[in-house]
Amino acid sequence: MVIHPAIAHSLCRVNLSLVTGQMMGAFLQKGDALVPADVSRIFGSLDECDVVVSTVGATPADPRADSEGNIALIDAAAKKKVKKFVLVTSIGCGNSSGAPPPQVYDVLRPVLLEKDKAEAHLMEVAKQTGMAAVIVRPGGLKTAPATGTGVLTEDTTVCGAIHRADVASLVVKATLSDKANGKVLSAVDKAQLFNAPAMKVFEC
């Protein structure tokens, strides 16, 4: 998702509903993050771009989009002089690798390792260019109405479930918050924790 001052553009690996995009006030451009020409076309269509939010992901069977796709978007954003990049990955990445139950981590390991590469690349590019960067790591995703009890935390040991609608709300908050710049944040539902650490909630 590329957030423009007036228009939101989507770049994904699956077909999206044009009707849904129009209802949200977004202008949909279909593309594949693994196809350089598509990435160039989308970014080239923007006169300016303030923020890029990437939720690009893949499956353990073919996790390339988690690394290669996101890295392509990060590089294109830096070239476009985007002010901020928000990367949505997963609990289990980086220093949160010990948070999920071992059996869950083992299943998701191929994807998580690729997401690790994208996270590291984003932070390095941000350091080199001055582009603000935020990483949001959701827990186990559920498709259901928002609960309103989703939170962000810097605690790398927390693990739990969260509804996609709540993740979306938290990502918007992180996108609009300067306080979140440079942070790596886990996103979980307080009422759906797999463990119950005395975590500190991060307030955007």
Check whether 67 has a pLDDT greater than 90. yes
pLDDT band, very low/low/confident/very high, at 140 (cuts 50, 70, 90): very high
Give pTM, 2 decimals: 0.88
For 187, phi then psi, to 5°, come to -120, 120
CA dihedral sign of residues 120, 102, 138, 153: negative
What are 21-31's pLDDT values in tens digits? 444 445 667 88
What are 68-122's pLDDT values in tens digits? 999 999 999 999 999 999 999 999 999 999 999 999 999 999 999 999 999 999 9
pLDDT score, position 109: 95
| Mean pLDDT over the full length of the chain | 87
Chain centroid offset of residue 172 CA? 11
What are 158-183's pLDDT values in tens digits? 999 999 999 999 999 999 999 999 99
pLDDT score, position 139: 96
Return d(Cα 174, Cα 28) in angstroms, integer: 23
Q: Which domains does the chain have, with CATH numbers?
A: 2-202 (3.40.50.720)
